[in-house]
Amino acid sequence: MEEIQFHFIDVGQADATLIETSEATKLIDVGHWQRNDVKDYLEGEGIEELDLVVGTHPHADHIGQMEQVIEDYQVEEAWMSGYEHDSQTYKNVMDAIDEHDVTYRTPRVNETYQPGLVEFEMLNPTDPIDGMDIHESCLAFRTNFGDFSAMFTGDVEEETEHEMIERGHDLEADVYQAGHHGSSTSSSAEFLDEMNPDVTVYSADPEVYGHPHDEVVDRMEESGIEQYGTYEHGTIQLTAWENGDYEISPEHGEIEDPEEYTLEVNIEGEGTTDPEPGEHTYEAGERVILETEPDEGWEFNSWSGYQESEDPVLEFDMPAENVTVTANFEEIEEEDNDEEDEDETDGLDEDLCSMNIFMVFIGITGIVVYKKSKN
């Protein structure tokens, strides 16, 4: 079975991710301009050529060593956002692309590229990028490899995340490289909900800007997302297979087993649930599905507790806490037939009484008329 390897390289407060398959090698972002760690890592991995080098946007912590890589390696193609920066780093990169005859491309939203076994599904930017700032125009894409997918958004911020949702993109991904190094400007709650990743990776150095920010870390934890950081785990390697399975191998630091939490299921009234009432253990983020079955003479009314719903089937992702839900059943009320019969009899009596009065009236009138006719 074919496999793909992601190397989230430890490059400090910068980004650089090496992607390897059996037929191609790609590099997404190229580290900080004041360091040489990207080249050192490529040499250590025995890389001699790169089919694709992507600079998500022209900040010097994303394209910092791109010029050096283009000069020292055979690079077939380079992608940039098209945002023209006035920095010397950006100018040097563009000169290197031109000097070494590297194919240059500025991908746009809704475009799909498949250089080899990996599909790149473009999610940002729209065209044209005139008037956008450097983060709004950032390249964002989902890489697809069989049933496995990974999301890369560069330094895209919350407003652009919302626009990607509004455009109706399929954003689900198994792995998410945290936007903007885990800054609070990115990784909004609604974006995480749409993406629903199992794992996130921070490429950052907390001593520089404090990334990842506490609110982002808390948000990930509440969503049950496993978190890895280059500042803690070093370079993080992830191997995935076409069937969607994957494994993570950090350079250092142990992988902790996901924490488990208790779901207590109760019932009010007569009925049962599947799983049955009682305590059940789930990992944070694991999908919970509860079904109900009322006893004879009873009907389902509602769920209460951690989740409230009138749907007899309750679904939610287990939070990172112990919670309780209750299935409420109510007895079906039987109709009182005696009262109905009495009401019908009363109605019949009233009808008969009215008919008798009417007949008497007709009879009397008939007599009067008869007498008048005889005179």
Strand order in the sheet with 236-241: 103-105, 74-79, 49-54, 25-28, 17-20, 3-8, 236-241, 246-250
**CA 253: distance to chain centroid?**
27
Instruction: Kindly state the DSSP code that residue 6 receives in the 8-state scheme.
Output: E
Q: What does 205-258 look like in DSSP terms, one character per residue?
A: -HHHH-PSPHHHHHHHHHTT-EEEEHHHH-SEEEEEETTS-EEEEESSSPPPPP
CATH of 260-331, one of 2.70.70, 2.60.40, 3.30.1220, 2.30.30: 2.60.40
Q: What is the pLDDT of residues 65-97, one digit of tens each?
A: 999 999 999 999 999 999 999 999 999 999 999
Q: What does 153-198 look like in DSSP terms, one character per residue?
A: -TT--HHHHHHHHHTT-----SEEE-GGGG-TTS--HHHHHHH--S
| CATH topology match: 3-250 vs 260-331 | no
| Predicted structure pTM score | 0.70
Q: What is the pLDDT of residues 97-133, one digit of tens each?
A: 999 999 999 999 999 999 889 999 999 999 999 999 9
Question: Quick one: pLDDT at residue 138?
Answer: 98
Identify the CA nearest to 216 among candidates 200, 240, 237: 200
Which tokens in the block code for residue 260?
């488990």
Q: Beta strand 260-268 with 323-331: parallel, antiparallel or unpaired?
A: parallel
Question: Quick one: pLDDT at residue 73?
Answer: 97
CA 300-303-304 angle, 5° bins: 140
Q: What is the pLDDT of residues 247-282, one digit of tens each?
A: 999 998 765 555 788 999 999 999 999 999 999 999
Identify the CA nearest to 12 among candidates 53, 62, 55: 62
What class, spelled out in words, does domain 3-250 have in CATH? alpha beta
Question: Quick one: pLDDT at residue 333?
Answer: 87
How far is residue 180's CA from residue 189's CA, in Å, rounded to a whole number? 15
Q: Beta strand 246-250 with 260-268: parallel, antiparallel or unpaired?
A: unpaired
Q: Beta strand 278-283 with 74-79: parallel, antiparallel or unpaired?
A: unpaired
- Any bridge partners for residue 2, and if so which? none
pLDDT along the chain (375 residues), means of 10: 96 98 96 96 96 98 98 97 97 98 98 94 96 97 98 98 98 98 97 98 96 96 95 97 96 68 94 95 88 95 94 91 93 68 51 48 41 35
CA 29-247-144 angle, 5° bins: 50
Q: Where are the domains of the chain?
A: 3-250, 260-331
Question: Quick one: pLDDT at residue 350?
Answer: 52
